[in-house]
Amino acid sequence: MRKYPTKKVMKKTVIGITVVGKDREGIVAAFTNFAFSKSGNIEKVNQNVIKGIFGMYLEVSFSKTVDVKRFDAEIQSLAKKEKMDVSTHHETNSQKNIAVFVTKETLCLKTILGNAKSLKGKISVVVSSERTLESLVKKAKIPFVVIQEKDQQKAEEKIIEICKKYEIDLISLARYMRILSPNFVWRYPNRIINIHPALLPAFPGALAYAQAYERGTKIVGVTAHYVTENLDQGPIIFQDSFKVDPNDSLEKIKAKGQRLEADTLLKAMKMHLENKLEVRWRKVHIKSK
């Protein structure tokens, strides 16, 4: 049998670049031209402007070896020149750093902490808007940071610094009861996972279980999704549900729902950390092996 030479598949390096700042002309060109000057191929680009704030995500691939430190230093020089806040994200096989955002509900956080060893990542910090869960987190020997600043912009500025300090790769919103602005969300594209107590898009908002109870729904579900600038409208990762008995009380439905929320959020986190998810055209696809 004739043997043919095997074709070597070049492994490419992929770098994600986020650019956030005040909107003005020339920003897109400045950063895309930078990528081209480094022999990069732009595979994804997404940009948006809301209330004068510009956000862009570039995914650039390189067929040749890239000096990551030099690349980061040079793009930061460009960021300073263009007066934009720029961060880069490099996909590696190393352990991912996770930040869990909480307020006062315990079940999601307890489930994540209880299954921390099964995650392909490290829970590096827990960020909260109040101190209710402080003892639970400190018992797990994880840094706990409280941001009680009421001004949204100032609060997010502090959170951004925390995420930079711990080099966060994934943010899990474990019933975090504050809405994140586009200025924050754009910095972590498809790297913020939220859990919503309904099968989206039905019953939006904080009173989902009460709405479902009042309408006599026969099935109650939960949705884990990536966070975008549009509330509860990001790409859906995973959904699950349970049947409702007509005799179930609101309290019983809530208890069942909260347990399912915790399990579904954990599952979505695991899928993300195991690199099983890919977002294409605002839909989440499960990668084939």
Structure tokens of 2?
Answer: 């004739």
* Options 23, 72, 85, 232, the catalytic residue: 232
Active site residue 248: no
Long-range contacts of 179-184 (CB under 8 A, 24+ apart): 179/231, 180/156, 180/227, 181/152, 181/153, 181/156, 181/229, 182/48, 182/50, 182/53, 182/55, 182/229, 183/20, 183/53, 183/55, 183/153, 183/156, 184/156, 184/159, 184/160
Q: How many residues appear in the chain?
A: 289
Enzyme catalytic residues: 232
